[in-house]
Chains A and B, each alone.
Chain A
């Protein structure tokens, strides 16, 4: 009979809904932050490379005695609204991730369970007329705490489940769009490279090598090294954006893991231990009740 009760207890505890595990919520929250950062990096790269391209074109205009401007102007960048519209959605997703993190914070469930345990202890001390009443009151109060925690977990899980299809759709949309953005940034870099190439070629001119003084050749060498570093710096920006598939895939997967609603075994075990302790108190009190 005792074994049966213990097994039943374990089953009840594991069947109780638990909020998603905090580390999984953290994974999702970090993925949402990374995706937002990715978009911001792409927007910055779009502007920076376009400005550098324009600067390079104007510099060539200057040294070839063509009309030039000193005004900072991005040259044929992607429309900035392309990024702001998507950023709005990612900001909303980040706010959702933040709210989810707060809702599953262990503090909430701990507060509920502690409050119910406190209620059980206080209630049990009043019902001192019977030795069984105290432990029984404690179990009932703990049950109430678990019921409330379970209801909270079910509400959170229902929201996560209902939101998951939209998170997956947004992930797919962003993956598709980032492919275009990354292609565009790579194209802008190729043209920046071509412009830098043109500037170097103009500085060198078409003079034969033997007409160049050693100092001139050294100057050209330095110019070349600087140009390479310029291109490499822009390349690094794009390299970060080209990781888009891996970063966005994590976003979808992390939320899908939350929506799958796998029970938190640690929480179930903690509950089982607490309830089993209360049950031991109840068994210990039973002989005393018989004796009275």
Chain B
């Protein structure tokens, strides 16, 4: 089993453990470990053992799980120094989560582009249909005006 497979397996275990609401302290250690393996090492550099091979979706799920764990730990703790430690870690994980989710949402942004043209074209077609109907009403009124004048002419003659 490669280090990559191990990290992946461990990561899946963290998420599962978290779902089962296992002890928060045990999760804390695991999530720090996994977070540093799949996202960054302690100095903020990309983790060497996995590199960029873990998918964004997996990394994001790891960050989300870690945020949930640390937020729960903040609620549980009564020591302000410990709480400050947790919030400092949360800040780092949040940066990563924001980058990953922004990337995910920006990757999906291209899918919207064609619809802008479709809706603009549909709006133009509706405007053209409206103008045609308005013109037709105008021409019918014009025809009625001509007939009316013609009727008056007939009466005079």
Q: Tell me the complex Cα distance, A64–B80, Å.
A: 11
Taking a contact as CB atoms under 8 Å apart, the answer to whether B80 and A205 are in contact is yes
CB within 8 Å for A89 and B116 given contacts A57-B91, A82-B109: yes
Q: Is the C-beta of B70 less than 8 angstroms from some C-beta in chain A? A: yes
Q: Is the C-beta of B20 less than 8 angstroms from some C-beta in chain A? A: no
Taking a contact as CB atoms under 8 Å apart, the answer to whether A152 and B119 are in contact is no
Taking a contact as CB atoms under 8 Å apart, the answer to whether B105 and A82 are in contact is yes
Majority DSSP secondary structure for residues of A touching B: helix
> Which residues of chain B in 85-123 are interfacial with respect to chain A, using CB atoms and an 8 Å cutoff?
86-87, 90-91, 94-95, 97-98, 101-102, 104-106, 108-109, 111-112, 115-116, 118-120, 122-123
Taking a contact as CB atoms under 8 Å apart, the answer to whether A122 and B148 are in contact is yes
Taking a contact as CB atoms under 8 Å apart, the answer to whether A166 and B140 are in contact is no
Taking a contact as CB atoms under 8 Å apart, the answer to whether B80 and A122 are in contact is no
B interface residues, how many (CB within 8 angstroms)? 59
Q: Is the C-beta of B130 less than 8 angstroms from some C-beta in chain A? A: yes
Residues of chain B contacted by A82 (CB below 8 angstroms): 102, 105-106, 109
Identify which of B106, B119, B130, B154 contacts A79 (C-beta below 8 A).
B106
Taking a contact as CB atoms under 8 Å apart, the answer to whether A166 and B91 are in contact is no
Taking a contact as CB atoms under 8 Å apart, the answer to whether A198 and B84 are in contact is yes
CB within 8 Å for A81 and B106 given contacts A108-B130, A118-B141: yes
Majority DSSP secondary structure for residues of B touching A: helix
Taking a contact as CB atoms under 8 Å apart, the answer to whether A76 and B134 are in contact is no
Identify which of B77, B79, B125, B144 contacts A159 (C-beta below 8 A).
B125
Interface 9-mer from A3-11, A99-107, A210-218, A244-252: A99-107
Q: Is the C-beta of B129 less than 8 angstroms from some C-beta in chain A? A: yes
Taking CB as reference atom, which chain A residue is nearest B104?
A: A180
CB within 8 Å for A96 and B80 given contacts A119-B140, A166-B118: no
Central interface residue in B90, B118, B124, B137, by most chain A CB within 10 Å: B137
Taking a contact as CB atoms under 8 Å apart, the answer to whether A166 and B74 are in contact is no
Identify which of A92, A112, A144 contacts B116 (C-beta below 8 A).
A92
| A 46-87 to B, binary, CB cutoff 8 A, 1 in contact else 0 | 000000000001001000100000000001111101100110
Taking a contact as CB atoms under 8 Å apart, the answer to whether A103 and B129 are in contact is yes
User: Nearest chain A CB to B86's CB is how many angstroms away?
Assistant: 7
